[in-house]
Amino acid sequence: MIQESKYEVVRGKVITRTFLMFTFFFLLSLILLAVRFTKGLGAVTNLSDGYPWGIWIAYDVVVGSALGCGGYALAILIYILNKREFSPLMRSALLTSALGYTMAGFAVIIDLGRYWNVYGFALPNRWNLSSVLFEVAVCIMTYTLILWIELTPVIAEKTGWNRKKLEKIVMVAAVIGLILPTMHQSSLGSIQIISLKKLNPLWHSGFLPLFFLSSVILMGYAVASAESLLSSLYFKRPFEMNLLKKLSIYMVYIGFGWIILRFIELIFWGKISLVFTQGFYSFMFWLEVALFFIPSYMLWKYRSQLSPRKIFVFSIIYLFAGAIYRFNVYLIGWNPGSNWVYFPSMSETLITIGIVSFEFMIYLIFVKTFPVLPAKEV
């Protein structure tokens, strides 16, 4: 499946100035993590009994895994809609997905208060099948594994493993890899259904899973586009403009569809007046809608004259839009009572930065060791 396109290893030294900068932030976060694991979560975070989930869940896990959905979003195009031409983007998208999900997994372990009990997910007598989080956790764990299995051909090309056997495994993995994100990315929205009154009615909805799923596909295409442009620029390779232009049209469809769906939901449940009456929350709602609308409108307007810069900028705005929506649901619109406040602490933020830096470090090592990026010439 994946071998249809040609890929190559990026040449160049692994250790560069950028790489060292990431290393610095990663080491810094390791020191803070030592504090977290010896003194407890309260020592480094601003989490409280009112805000049990903070930036580590909202950004590292929810947004992080959404940014890791490039592989999933492309897989829908390539396998379900049979748009084979997108397969050159697949490998690097798979790699960012695998990294994104692995880092989300790390963040979860850091965030878990009693991480040593995680083995409980392997004991069926502890499974709580009515828990949305159970489904999300199991799916994310499995999917992370699947992503790395899907990447094995990359390593096989380098090491010369038996590719015939691998291909069968990868095939099954790809099938499961299409189902799992559908389940858990929608369920990341379902998680907040149980919050009921704690989540502002502008966001609380039975359609949370649908909003999350549709926006994650949009974010997947956006991240795949941005990443393709970025690696082309960074590794001095040609831009895949043909593919990216098609992708941006899909993004426009989903972007507009998402906004329409959002308003239909608000109107249908009689909550439409809230978009003006909730003060700060209304502002955040409009910011979110604007961030979805602006790139959709601009990409549509310039659909015939899209440049790499335009695609990059609007893809990034889409990513911000999806991130803001997730922050709204998990932190900003989530309020256990007007008396509670939360804003991430410096240590908390630095640990997040450290995790992201580590992700970049692995990516840089990986593309310079294994054939991930599309080959320049046939």
Partner 1 sequence: MKEKPKNPDRREFLKKGMAAAVGAALFPGAVLASEEENSEEWYSMLYDSTKCIGCKSCSVACKRVNHLPPELEKDGIHDDAIDLSAKTKTIIKLYKSDDGRSAFVKRQCMHCLDPACVSACPVSAMRKDRTTGIVYWNGNRCIGCRYCMVACPFEVPKFEWDKPIPHIVKCDLCKDTYLKEKGITACADVCPTGAIIFGKRGDLLIEAKMRIKKNPERYNPVIYGEYDGGGTSVMYLASKGVSFQELGFPRLEKSPAEISESIQHGIYESLVPPFLALGALYFLLKPEKKEGKNDSGK
Partner 2 sequence: MNRFGYVPGLSEEITRRDFIKLLTIAAATMGLPVGFVKKLEAAVKSPTRPPVIWLHFQECTGCTESLLRTSNPAFAKLILDIISLDYHETIMAAAGSQAEEVLQHMINKHAGKFICVVEGSIPTKDGGIYCQIGGKKAVDIMKEVAQKASAIVAIGNCASFGGVQSVEPNPTGAVGVMEVIKDKPLINVPGCPPNPYNILSTLLYVLTFKKIPELDEYRRPKFAYGRRIHDHCPRRAHFDAGRFVEHYGDKGHRLGWCLYKMGCKGPVTYANCPTTQFNDVGVWPIGIGHPCIGCTQPKVGFHLPVKLKVKPQEVVPPEQFPPITVKEGKATIAGVAAVSAALGAAAGAAGVIASRLPDKEERNHEGKTKES
Task: Using CB under 8 A, list all residues that contact partner 2.
Answer: 46-51, 55, 85, 88, 229-230, 232-233, 238-245, 305-310, 312-313, 316, 337-346, 348-350, 352-353, 374-378
Q: Does 201 bind partner 1 (CB under 8 A)?
A: no
Closest CA to 256 of 296, 310, 223: 296
Which DSSP category does 59 fall into? I
- Contacted entry of partner 2, partner 1, none for residue 12, CB cut-off 5 to 8 Å set by kind: none
Q: At what angle do helices 308-327 and 280-301 cross, to 10 degrees?
A: 160
Q: Does 264 bind partner 1 (CB under 8 A)?
A: no
CB of 345 to partner 2, least distance (A): 4
CB of 155 to partner 1, least distance (A): 23
* Alpha-carbon span 139 to 132, nearest angstrom: 11
Q: Are 365 and 371 in contact (CB under 8 A)?
A: no
Exactly one of 14, 18, 20, 126 binds partner 1 (CB under 8 A); which one?
A: 126
Q: Does 190 bind partner 1 (CB under 8 A)?
A: yes
CB of 8 to partner 1, least distance (A): 18
- Contacted entry of partner 2, partner 1, none for residue 230, CB cut-off 5 to 8 Å set by kind: partner 2
Q: Are 41 and 112 in contact (CB under 8 A)?
A: no
Sign of CA dihedral 31, 34, 39, 44: positive
CB of 10 to partner 2, least distance (A): 16
Q: Does 377 bind partner 1 (CB under 8 A)?
A: no
- Contacted entry of partner 2, partner 1, none for residue 316, CB cut-off 5 to 8 Å set by kind: partner 2
Provide the β-strand partners of residue 334.
199
Closest CA to 315 of 364, 251, 258: 251
- Taking the least distance from each CB to partner 2, the nearer of 288 and 348 is 348
* Alpha-carbon span 147 to 174, nearest angstrom: 8
Closest CA to 168 of 28, 289, 312, 1: 1
Q: Does 1 bind partner 1 (CB under 8 A)?
A: yes
Q: Does 341 bind partner 1 (CB under 8 A)?
A: no
Token output for 29: 């976060």
* Alpha-carbon span 284 to 5, nearest angstrom: 43
- Contacted entry of partner 1, partner 2, none for residue 114, CB cut-off 5 to 8 Å set by kind: partner 1
CB count in 10 Å sphere of residue 292: 26
- Contacted entry of partner 1, partner 2, none for residue 32, CB cut-off 5 to 8 Å set by kind: none
Which residue in this structure is represented by tokens 């949305």?
Answer: 132
Q: Does 256 bind partner 1 (CB under 8 A)?
A: no
Q: Does 193 bind partner 1 (CB under 8 A)?
A: yes
Amino acid at 323: A
- Helices marked H in 204-240: 208-234
- Contacted entry of partner 1, partner 2, none for residue 133, CB cut-off 5 to 8 Å set by kind: partner 1
- Contacted entry of partner 2, partner 1, none for residue 129, CB cut-off 5 to 8 Å set by kind: partner 1
- Taking the least distance from each CB to partner 2, the nearer of 174 and 350 is 350
List, in order, residues 6 or more apart from 239 with CB less than 8 Å away: 228, 229, 232, 308
- Taking the least distance from each CB to partner 2, the nearer of 168 and 309 is 309
- Taking the least distance from each CB to partner 2, the nearer of 1 and 313 is 313
- Taking the least distance from each CB to partner 1, the nearer of 328 and 357 is 328
* Alpha-carbon span 368 to 203, nearest angstrom: 42
- Taking the least distance from each CB to partner 2, the nearer of 276 and 280 is 280
**# of chain residues touching partner 1 (CB under 8 A):** 71
- Taking the least distance from each CB to partner 2, the nearer of 11 and 168 is 11
Q: Are 47 and 351 in contact (CB under 8 A)?
A: no
* Alpha-carbon span 190 to 185, nearest angstrom: 9
Residues 134-153 close enough to bind partner 1 by CB under 8 A: 134-135, 137
